[in-house]
Amino acid sequence: MGQILQAKGIHKSYTMGKQTLTVLRGVEMSLSAGDFAVIVGASGSGKSTLLHILGALDKPDKGTIEFEGQRLDQMSNSRLNQFRNQNVGFVFQFYHLLDELNVLENVLLPAMIAAGPVGWLKSKKNVQNKAISLLERMGLKDRLPHKPYELSGGERQRAAIARALINEPKILLADEPTGNLDSKTGHGILEVLSELNQQGQTILMVTHDDRIARQAGRVIKLSDGKIVS
Amino acid sequence: MIGLKLSWRYFLHRRISILAVISVALCVFIVVVVMSVMNGLVNEFKEKNHRFVGDCVVRASSLTGFPYAADFITQLEQQSFVYAVSDTVQGVGLMTRPGTPWNIGIDYVGIDPVKHSRATHFAETLGYHADSPERAFQPSYAPQLDGCILGVDLILYRRPDTGQYDSPDRPWPTQRTISSFPLNPKGGLARAGLDMVSTKTFHYSDHSHSGLVKPDGRTIYLPLEQARILSGMDAPVVRSSAIHIRFAEGISVSDGVRQVQQLWQTYVQSCKNKPYADMLDGVRVLTWQQDRREFIGPMEKEQLMLTFLFLMLGIVTVFIIFVVFYMIIGHKTRDLGLIKSLGMPASRVAAIFLGFAAIVGLIGTAIGMTAGCLFLWKINAMENWLYDHYGWRVWDRAIYAIDQIPNAIEWPVLVCVAAAAVAACLLGASVPSIQAARQSPVRTLQVSQI
């Protein structure tokens, strides 16, 4: 499989008061289509920062990111919005489902953002069917009209995964997706991710748990702002 | 679509939005009620003044009046833009009731009731001769006697509870004596060395209820020639105090007045070699608003101040909305981060909160307007109830000269208030919305994780 994501010489630092905190110091990495890679490292090693930069949520101070040959740093804000919406699916540790929307609506959110008002009226039926199908796959068939706060942690994360997949992104970026779950539920989430990967979904996951990392096809170890293995 | 849905859901799920709606509704309610009543009072007052003096007034600036009015009136009556003209004499005097020590300082106005009723709406103010102004100076109990028309408050009792006058079916026999110093053209006493005071007794033939405090409270209308004698304007040259003019249908006041001014200037030139022609220099051609500015001005100023106060209220509303939205958005940073991470552009993120503000504004405005209209609809009933139960009147009828609190709803005012309320909400929400849209998704997502 060919490379879809390549990071070269990524540097990132934050200014906190008078101090500058350097988080990434020249990270080089790539991701091929169909990979299930895991970024591991100690707390504060820059895992999440790297994931956010790779997903165009944040910009590096230095270095380049190429997605299918296109440099993210040369994209306009509107192109980056489109890139995130169409090519990247995010799964967060704390699910980040909107309490004002039910499960189905949460899953539909990226599709609604992509479609716009007129486009949405045209594509609503198809996308809704797709969302229902995804939720069925996630075992949430009966939870469609429920609000996020009515779901368990595992169910919320599965709903978040379904939301991440609705626009059929080329990469799924998961930031500690099991970090807020008990081990049994977390294991269930990992199984879901593994299944998705077996079906061809490229996944890049951040975790600080080595046991979880062992289940991935590739482990990227981050230490002191650099990839060490 | 998702923006609208989120705006609506945020509105439904945030209790604080109820506070925002209530504050908008209260502001709209107050503005609608007070502006409607105040506009009603001012407009009614202006209309009464307009009806009282006609469209245009040619007025002497002095109590001595001005000469040669008759020829100018003839000229005016030949103009197609003029509908009617009325010659008047005005003076000040002392009114007494024969056989009693009672007396009061009054203004007297000499009029031809028919002509004056055509030039103004004088006949409509009469208690007994609204349909027959030609007999307004004929006391029904003795038509051969000299009659007078008294300002309504000089003769009838006004009930404080209803604001209505106790008016019998016909005028009763009663007399009023008017004493006045007749003035010569130079402002001196006209009959120095003789009987300096002109005194004449008149019989009550009718009363006039114009709805204006001063005319109703201290004006007596007399036959034109009698007033001329009382004021001394009968000699050595016949003089008038004012000419009231009503323009033909379709002629605007400004156009009509401009034409009268041109005619007047020409007329003054033609009279320059006549005796006392210098008295014409002090005559001014005025619109009805200019003529009544002394009375209308303070009310307009009051209205302006009220509008200014409401502007302050609007600023307070904007600030309330600003605070409410600042708090709401402060609680929604996580959602904002997520929505932006899913690719929603900043402009659409701002639009979610502006949509939220528009919903608050529209619902608050609708509630405020409905409550305001209902309140206005029942305002007189409520005021009467307060008077019946607690003896309290919001507006003293004697001061405001109104029978009822004006409660007509002016749609242009409502539209302006609604637009201003929604605009205030959008303005108040704009800064927090733009701030929200500019937030970095990473920062908000990381902050919420901590």
Q: What is the pLDDT of residues B185-241, one digit of tens each?
A: 887 777 655 566 789 999 999 999 998 888 999 999 999 999 999 999 987 889 999
Q: Which candidate from A82, A84, A98 shows the least CB-CB separation from B341?
A: A84
B357 to chain A nearest CA, in Å? 17
CA distances from B45 to A87, B32, B401 (A): 70, 19, 9
Q: For position B450, what pLDDT does the model report?
A: 35
CB nearest B343 (choices: A58, A81, A98): A81
What CA–CA distance (Å, rounded) separates A95 from B333? 15
Measured CA to CA, the distance from residue B236 to residue B292 in angstroms comes to 30
Closest residue to A94, CB basis, from B5, B345, B449: B449
pLDDT of residue B191: 65
Q: Provide the shortest C-alpha distance from residue B343 to chain A (in Å).
A: 4
Query: Which of B8, B342, B347 would best serve as a mutation to test chain A binding (most A beta carbons within 10 A)?
Result: B342
For chain B, say whether A106 makes contact (Cβ under 8 Å): no
Tens digit of each residue's pLDDT (9 = 90 or more) over B265-286: 999 999 988 988 899 998 999 9
Tokens representing B63? 């109590």
Q: Do B445 and A92 touch (CB under 8 A)?
A: yes
Q: Which of B4, B9, B344 sits opposite A100 (nearest CB)?
A: B9
Decide if B343 and A109 are in contact by the 8 Å CB cutoff. no
* More confident position, B70 or B337: B70
| Complex confidence, ipTM | 0.89
pLDDT at position B401, please? 63
Provide the pLDDT for residue A216. Answer: 83
Express as a percent the part of chain B with pLDDT over 70: 95
- How far apart are alpha carbons B242 and B90 in whole angstroms? 8
Q: CB-based burial of residue A126 (10 Å sphere; 0-12 exposed, 13-18 middle, 19+ buried)? A: exposed
- CB neighbour burial string for B105-130, b if at least 16 within 10 angstroms, e if fewer: ebbbbbbbbbbbbbbbbbbebbbbbe
- Which positions 79-98 of A are in contact with B (Cβ < 8 Å)? 81-86, 90, 92-94, 96, 98
The alpha-helical segments, DSSP class H, found in A102-152 are 103-137
B43-72 burial by CB neighbour count: b if 16+ within 10 A, else e?
A: ebbbebbbbbbbbbbbbbeeebbbbbbeeb
Instruction: Give chain B's mean pLDDT.
Output: 88
What is the arithmetic mean of pLDDT over B156-165? 78
Q: A57 and B441: CB-CB below 8 Å?
A: yes
Give the nearest chain A residue to B450 (CA atoms). A94
Which phi and psi (to 5°) does residue B356 adopt? -60, -45
Q: Give φ, ψ of A101 to 5 degrees.
A: -110, 150
Q: Cβ distance B441 to B340 under 8 Å?
A: yes
Contact A100 B449 (CB under 8 A): no
pLDDT reading at B354 higher than 80: yes
Residue B4: its chain A contacts at CB < 8 A?
117
Q: What is the pLDDT of residue B448?
A: 44
Residue of A nearest to B347 (CA): A78
Place of tokens 């039926």: A125
Q: State the nearest Cα–Cα gap between A156 and chain B, in angstroms.
A: 15
Name chain A contacts of B441, Cβ cutoff 8 Å: 57
A148 Cα to chain B: minimum distance (Å): 13
> Residue B237 to residues A161, B190, B268, B271, B301: CA-CA distances in angstroms?
104, 12, 16, 13, 41
On whether the CB atoms of residues B13 and A100 are closer than 8 A, the answer is yes
> Closest-CA residue in chain B for A92?
B445
Mean pLDDT for the stretch of residues B99-122 = 95
Q: In terms of CA atoms, which chain B residue is nearest residue A78? A: B345
- Inform me whether the pLDDT recorded for B438 exceeds 50: yes
CB atoms A98 and B335 under 8 Å? yes
Within 8 A of A100 by CB-CB distance, chain B residues are 6, 9-10, 12-13
Q: How far is A170 from chain B (nearest CA, A)?
A: 14
- Pick the range with the lowest mean pLDDT from A128-137, B251-260, B397-406: B397-406
Which residues of chain A are within 8 Å of residue B5 when distances are taken between CB atoms? 101, 105, 112
Residues B42 and B63: their CA atoms lie apart, in Å, by: 29
Q: What is the pLDDT of residue A143?
A: 93
Q: What is the pLDDT of residue B384?
A: 85
- Chosen for mutation from B341, B440, B444, B450 (greatest number of chain A CBs closer than 10 Å) is B341
pTM of the full structure: 0.73
Stretch 114-173 of chain A: residues touching chain B, C-beta under 8 Å: 114-117, 120-121
Average pLDDT (B337-345) is 89
Please indicate whether, in this complex, the C-beta atoms of A101 and B9 are within 8 angstroms of each other: yes
Would you call B2 and A77 a contact, using CB atoms and an 8 Å cutoff? no
Contacts with B342 from chain A: Cβ below 8 Å: 84-85, 90, 109-110, 113
Q: What is the pLDDT of residue B449?
A: 43
Residues B333-343, mean pLDDT to the nearest whole number: 86
Q: Report the distance separating Cα B172 and Cα B157, nearest Å.
A: 14
Going across the sheet that includes A171-175, the strands are: A88-91, A171-175, A202-207, A36-41, A218-223, A226-227
Q: Can you give the pLDDT at residue A214? A: 81
- Angstrom distance (rounded) from CA A100 to CA B272: 86
Task: State how far residue A114 is from chain B, nearest Cα, in angstroms.
Answer: 8
**Closest Cα in chain A to B446:** A48
Consecutive 10-residue averages of pLDDT for chain A (229 residues):
87 87 91 92 87 92 93 91 93 90 94 86 90 92 93 93 93 89 85 90 88 84 86
Per-residue pLDDT, B194 = 59
Min distance A36 CA to chain B CA atoms (Å):
22
Which of B2, B9, B12 faces A113 most closely, judged by CB atoms? B2
